[in-house]
Structure 1
Amino acid sequence: MVFGSYVLIYFTILYTRRRLGIVTNEMMDVPKWRFAIIGFLEALGVATGMAAAAMLPGPVIPILNQTYLVWQLLFALLILGRRFLLNQIAGCLLVAVGVVVAVSSGSGADTTLSGIGFLWPAVLVASAAFQAGASIIKEFVFNDAAKRLEGKSLDIFVVNSFGSGFQALFVFLLLPFLSNLKGIPFASLPSYLKDGAGCFFNTGAKISGCDGAPILPLLYISTNLAFNISLLHLVKISSAIVSSLTMMLSVPLAVYIMSKPLPYLPGGSSLSSNFTMGCIVLVLGLLLYNIPTTPTKQHTKTS
C-alpha cells in the first residue's frame, strides 16, 4: 500500500510538472529500461533484506548494512569509472565504523555473528549490494542525461516516478515470496491487505498498534517522500556516495531522537558513551572525505 502511495504521488507530481513545461519531451524520452533495472535491483534489495532480517538478531542488521558504502565505492569504480583519493576511501570507512559503534552501543554480546552461520549475513550483504547498485545507476542516468539533453538537467521526478513504478511492479511480482517470509499464506494476502488499509485509515474496530492513524502514517509518508526527494537531488548535484554519507549521518541522529520520550513511543532510554564516540568517528569520517584537494589529471570528479 505504501509503495502504491509513493508511485501515485510521484506520477501526480510528474504529470503536473509535465503540464507546466518543467519536464520536457526530451526528458521523457530517456531510456526506460534503465529505470526497470533500478526498480528490479531495489525490489531485490527489499526482498533479500526482509528475508535476512527475519533470521538475524536486530543489532546485527545495521552493522552489516554498512557494507552498502563499500559496494557503492566498488560500483562507482566499475560503472562510472570513478577514481577515489585515499582520504575519501578512509573517510567512507570511518563513517561506516562510526555508524556501527553508534548503533551497537549498549547492545551487549548479541551483536556478534557467532552461531549465526554464513548464509543469512551473506544474504543481507547481497541486499546492500542490490541497493548500492541501484543508487549508482541513478547517478549514471543523471550523468548520461546531461549529455543527451545538451547540458540540461534531468528532472528528478522522472527518475523517482519511473524508478518507483518499476520497483512497485517487481515487489508485486515478489509478493508470494514476501508474504511467505511473514508467515502469511498467499491466499490470505487480500484479507491481510484489507486489514492493513483499515489500520492505516483507522476505520472499523479499534486495532492494537493503530493508535495515531491516519495522522501518523500520513506524516511518515510525507516525511519519507521529502527525505527520498532530497537524497535523489543530492545524487543529482553531487554523487551517490555523498548522498549515502549524508544518509548515514541521519542514523545516529534518528537513534538519539528515538531515545527521547515521544508521543506513541515507549519512554526514552539513556545512550552509552559508545554512542557519542561513534558519532564523533562518523563526523571525522565526513570531514576526512570532504577535505579540499587539488584535482589532477589522474582523477575524475569525485563529489
Structure 2
Amino acid sequence: MNRVLYKLALVPMKEYPFFLAQVTTFGYVGIYFSILFMRYSAGIVTNEMLSIPKYCFVLIGILEALGVAAGMSAGAMLPGPAIPILSQTFLVWQLLFSTLILGRKYAFNQIVGCLLVAVGVVVAVTCGSNGGQLLSNIDIMWPALMIASSAFQAGASIIKGKPLDIFVVNSFGSGFQALFVLLFMPFLSNMKGIPFAELPSYLRSGAACFLNIGNNVTGCDGAPLLPLLFIFTNMAFNIALLNLVKISSAVISSLAATLSVPLAIYVLALPLPYLPEASSLGPYFLIGSAVLVLGLILYNLPQYAKQGPDNF
C-alpha cells in the first residue's frame, strides 16, 4: 500500500512534488515528536540521549530532505512499476557507503546479493527493444534522480546507525529534514523551471491543488484523498517497520520489505484509479525483477557465528 499510494499521491500533485514533500515531512515532525515525548515521560528516553550534539541530525536532515524532494520529483514522472525497482538501489548505495565511510566488512553472500540487485535493476529498466523498455519514452534525468534519491537516503541511514533510541534519531532527523526541505525549495523549484519570485504563487497553487479547491484548480483529481492516504499509510508503514525490528530482527523486516517489491510491481502495472493505463511488463522487466528479489533474499540471509561445543 505504501509503495502504490506513493505513486497515486503524485498523480494529482504531479506539478507540486515539493509541496507534497513539505506536507509529508511536517507530518512526520508532529508524529515523531509526540511519540518521543511519551517515551521521555515513560523514562525510556533519557536527558543524556536528548543532550547529544545535533550536528549528526543536521546532516541526516539535509540528506533526507534531498532524498524526499528528488524522489517525489522523479516519481511524478516515472511509470509506477519502475519506482520500486529503482528504489532498490538503496541497498547498493548503503553497502558502498558503509564500506567506504564506516569500514564495515560484508559476507560473501551479501556482496553477491548486492551485485544481483544492481544487475536486476539494469536488466529490468534497460534491456529489450526500445519499444519494450519500461523507460523507453522517459527522459534519463528522472530515473537518475530516483537513483540519486536512494543514495541520499542510504547516506542518512548510515549516519542513523548510532546506539540511540530510534525515536530520538527520527524525531530530530525529521525536524531538520522539514527545515531543509523548506530551505532547499527555492533551489529545487528553480531546477524545475520555477523562478524564485514565483515561489509564493507556486506554494499557493500547491495548497489549492492539495485541497482541490478553487475555480482555477485543474488536473488535481484525487486530491486531497490520495495524498492524505499516502501520508497516513507512509507513517503507519514506518512505525510498523520499527515495531517489527523491535520484536523480531532487522533481517525479518528486510525480508518483509523484500516481499513488497514484486507485489508493488504487479499492482502498479494494473489499471488503477487515476492511473487507468496499465503498464506493459515485458520479459526483461520480469527477469530483472526476479534477479533483484533473488539478490535481496541472498543479501538478507542470516549469518551464523561459528560456535564451539560448549556454546552449541
- Please, what TM-score do these two structures have when normalized by structure 1? 0.73
Structure 2 distance, partners of 1:24, 1:133, is 27
Q: Which amino acid aligns with 2:198?
A: S
CA distance in 1, matches of 2:103, 2:34: 35
- Looking at structure 2, the residues matched to 91 and 223 of structure 1 have their Cα atoms a distance apart, in angstroms, of 29
**For residues 1-303 of structure 1, what are the structure 2 equivalents within 5 Å?**
1-2=22-23, 3-46=25-68, 67-104=89-126, 108=130, 128-139=150-161, 141=162, 144-145=163-164, 154=165, 156-205=166-215, 207-231=217-241, 247=257, 250-295=260-305
Aligned-partner SS, 2:194: coil
How many pairs are equivalent? 279
Task: Name structure 1 gaps, 5 residues minimum.
Answer: 146-153, 298-303
CA contact (8 A) 2:209 2:220 kept: yes
Letter in 1 for 2:232: S
Question: Sequence identity, in percent?
Answer: 63
Q: In the aligned structure 2, how far is the partner of 1:176 from the partner of 1:64?
A: 26
Deviation per residue, 1:112-145 (Å, 9 max, x gap): 99xx99x999887665433222111112x2xx33
Measured after TM superposition, the shift of residue 8 of structure 1 is 2.5
User: Would the aligned equivalents of 1:40 and 1:166 in 2 still touch at CA under 8 Å?
Assistant: yes
Q: Read off the aligned partner of 2:201 and give its amino acid letter.
A: S
Aligned-residue CA RMSD (Å): 3.9
For 1:279 and 1:61, locate their aligned partners in 2 and report how far apart those are by CA, in whole Å: 12
Distance in 1 of aligned mates of 2:211 and 2:135: 40
Gaps of 5+ in 2: 1-21, 308-312
1:249, 1:282 within 8 Å by CA — same for their partners in 2?
no
The one-character-per-residue Cα deviations of 1:133-179 (angstroms, maximum 9, x if unpaired) are 2111112x2xx33xxxxxxxx1x322222111111212222222111
Distance 2:98 2:180 in 1: 25
In the aligned structure 2, how far is the partner of 1:8 from the partner of 1:213?
Answer: 22
Q: Which residue identity lines up with residue 114 of structure 2 in the other structure?
A: C
- For 1:170, give the aligned amino acid: F
